[in-house]
Amino acid sequence: MSTIKDGPFKTGEWSMEERLAALASFLPTFTAENFKFGEWIAPETKNGVTSVGWFSLVPEAKAFLKAVREFGWVYGFDWGEWSQSPEANALLENPEALARADVFQLAKLVTTCVRAARFSEGSLARDFDRGLLTGIVRRAAALLKEQSPASRSDADPSHDLGTADERRVWLRAFWGFGPEDEGYLGFTLAANRERFIREFRQGDLVLIYGADQEQTQREQRRQVLGFLEVEPIPVTDAERSSDPDRRWKVENGWADRWTYGVPVRRAWRVTRKIEAHHLARVTFQTHNPVLIASRGELLTPEEAKAALGLPVVPENVFGEPPLPPEALNHEAAIRDFFQPSRGVTPSYGDRNFTVEDAENRLYVLQLSGDVAAFLGRQPFEVKGKCIIKVGHAKDPQQRCETHNAHLPPASQFKWKVAFTSPTFPGGKEAKKAEDDLKKRFAERFESLGGEFFLGDELGVSVEFSQVTRDLSFVITAA
């Protein structure tokens, strides 16, 4: 049996759609008429010395090799042993099997092809000539289409997210519920995570209940504990757990458990006591409880609808921006967190107010999240860059929270205060400093319009320091 030393998709911060898109982008090239992966360079003799012939890849082939490495399709496992397995034989020799491959099988195939090329000159060209590489990128294109919510909705109306009451809910058991220290949903077996990712649909939630074991606090055993909103991409436990949580696993001899994960983006704790068996009676009757606990099973639509009515409060998640204190006390049915908010009832009459000048601070906000997705660009175009906003306010942190309040609650993007200055005597002085900083940013970075820019963090820090230094202020990082 092969031993995986390190799972695939460990490089970069790419989503699964981006990784698949990187492979699929080569489909037009590989299917173009007369395209060749490379050519043999004949031996040459110069000054009485004869060089050995070698295989030269065309630029498009070199770009393919660079992409599969950068996007994590090549990883460390015993590819030599795996290449002799029945699974590999089916994928390598049967186009129909390749057309059904999942992302992990594609990663094994790509790794095997790339590693084998180090020991056999021209083997990648042979893999291309027999249709293997084209089959891989064609399957990636098909999986990418399946990843698209619009494509799934067109192909199968049951995949449509629909209303909050129509969300699917997975059921899993753990010894507790602590997303503030564990920002991931973990699996001990890689195959269980692969299945979860493969069967996951946009909008799915995971309901955690307390395992009926001694490691679970007595009052939490068999009780539903909380909901998780996850992203179906592979991560490791180490990437998404706090130092105390990692120490707890090591000290108890559980370092090799729940190592295969998917990241949690939002979490809610159930605020009422209810036994999981009462909520999911049919699911427990029709599924093995051991499998429910270890890999998860879907509730029936009726059970899911009942689960979505449970009262919850939001929880902080390790690896995600912390929630404002008032959000942590907001209790509502879990479905309400996915419902549109109600508009403000208008009021009429005269309004009088006075705006007074006061001390102000210059600030820079930085947007957390996938910059490429936010701007609709390719990841390589914005690698190492961040979106920033320049402004001045009496309370930069409050201003930041105001901007975040205008984002959807489910948004993966949040503003954070990156830099603030000490106080200016008044708004006019702060405004002058803001204009100076915008001018500097416009000269050095890409303007996104208004007070927004695209730049690198170091450059932002340098320019901000320069402006505050010129005005005899000292920069303070938030």
Cβ atoms of 415 and 400 within 8 Å: the answer is: yes
The 10s digit of each residue's pLDDT in 123-151 is: 899 999 999 999 999 999 998 887 654 44
Q: Identify the three-state secondary structure at position 474.
A: coil
| CA distance to 171, 225, 273, 293, per residue, from 210 (Å) | 11, 7, 11, 9
pTM: 0.48
pLDDT score for 229: 94
The single-letter code of the amino acid at 358 is: A
Which DSSP letter does residue 396 get?
H
Q: Side chain identity at 2, as an amino acid letter?
A: S
* Choice among 69-73, 99-103, 325-329 with the minimum mean pLDDT: 325-329
Is 19 a residue whose pLDDT tops 70?
Answer: yes
Residue 11: band (very low, low, confident or very high) from pLDDT cuts 50, 70, 90: low
Overall average pLDDT of the 269-277 stretch = 93
Distance CA 308, CA 184 (A): 21
250 vs 41, which has greater pLDDT? 250
d(CA 303, CA 69): 43
pLDDT at position 347 is: 63
Which of residues 338 and 219 earns the better pLDDT score? 219
- In this structure, the number of other CB atoms found within 10 A of the CB of residue 429 comes to 16
> Over the stretch 75-95, which tens digit does the pLDDT of each residue have?
888 899 999 998 899 999 898
Rg (CA), the chain: 27
Buried b (16+ CB within 10 A) or exposed e, 219-228: ebbebbbbbb
Out of 175-189, 291-305, 337-351, least confident range: 337-351
Residue 8 has pLDDT above 80, yes or no: no
- Contacts for 308 with CB less than 8 Å, ≥ 6 apart: 164, 165, 167, 169, 205, 333, 334, 335
Share of the chain above pLDDT 90, in %: 34
- Of 86, 168, 98, 175, the closest CA to residue 137 belongs to 98
- Quote the CA–CA distance of 47 and 31 in Å, as a whole number: 42
Kindly state the tokens that stand for 319. Answer: 């690896």
Residue 31 has pLDDT above 50, yes or no: yes
Residue 262 is predicted with a pLDDT of: 92
What's the average model confidence in pLDDT over 212-228? 93
- Predicted local confidence at residue 291, as pLDDT: 83
* The two structure tokens encoding residue 291: 């499998």
With 90 as the cut, is the pLDDT of residue 257 above it?
A: no
Q: Beta strands of 76-179 (E only): which ranges?
A: 169-174
- Report percent pLDDT > 70 for the chain: 86
Residues 443, 436: Cα–Cα separation, whole Å: 11
What pLDDT was estimated at residue 12? 60
User: What is the rounded CA–CA span in Å between residue 359 and residue 262?
Assistant: 45
Residue 1: pLDDT over 60: no
